[in-house]
Chains A and B, each alone.
Chain A
């Protein structure tokens, strides 16, 4: 069965430190992967995606994600966190026109 796991409900990071939000997946075939961010009382915003090619994908707001096929992971990273990065982050994996969503990780950046 296809699945996506975001193993951490919440991640706390000090402002200026690097951040990582984890995502692992299980899907048959070649997946395409997404990260989205949701700010309070807002819809989800697209951050970045991986379909093929370079394993390191750069996206909006200074975020990047690394696709690791052997570990079936697609972790979201940012070198230096901002307080404004505090939000809910979702990983999604697509296959055959269907998207499977992770449960979301709440990212809290402390000043």
Chain B
């Protein structure tokens, strides 16, 4: 089975721009979560989508948004980029149900200049 894929792997943007990141979960996985990872803040939960609905949301400003499509693929959008948005953005998928492990993609490295 193919793993979680994320595109693009690397991205350089300028302050004020917006960016869209894409995540394709493992086949059959209906839950997709997004995380921001930075050296200073560690792993921060952004949001989780399940069956096209946002199920949980972390403590991030409204500039960060996401969606999930009927095939479970998910996108994350960040508008009005700030320097502090530079980070590794990780996507993780899992089967439905509680207590099940997540499977992570390789991440998208976003650099904001």
Q: Tell me if B104 and A98 are in contact (CB < 8 A).
A: no
CA distance A56 to B54 in the complex (A): 35
CB closest residue in chain A, given B90: A43
With a cutoff of 8 Å between Cβ atoms, the chain A residues found around residue B43 in the complex are 44, 90, 101, 104
Chain A contact patch, size range: 20 to 34
Selected contact of B45 from candidates A36, A101, A102, CB within 8 Å: A101
Interface 1/0s, chain A 64-94, versus B by CB < 8 A?
0000000000000000000000000010001
- Given A46-B102, A94-B98, A97-B48, is A103 in contact with B42 using a C-beta cutoff of 8 Å? yes
CB closest residue in chain A, given B42: A103
- Given A32-B98, A97-B98, is A46 in contact with B106 using a C-beta cutoff of 8 Å? no
- 11 intermolecular pairs with C-beta atoms under 8 Å apart: A36-B104, A41-B106, A42-B107, A43-B105, A46-B103, A49-B99, A51-B99, A90-B43, A94-B98, A99-B45, A99-B102
* Interface of B toward A, CB cutoff 8 Å: 4, 33, 42-43, 45, 48, 55-56, 90, 92, 98-99, 101-107
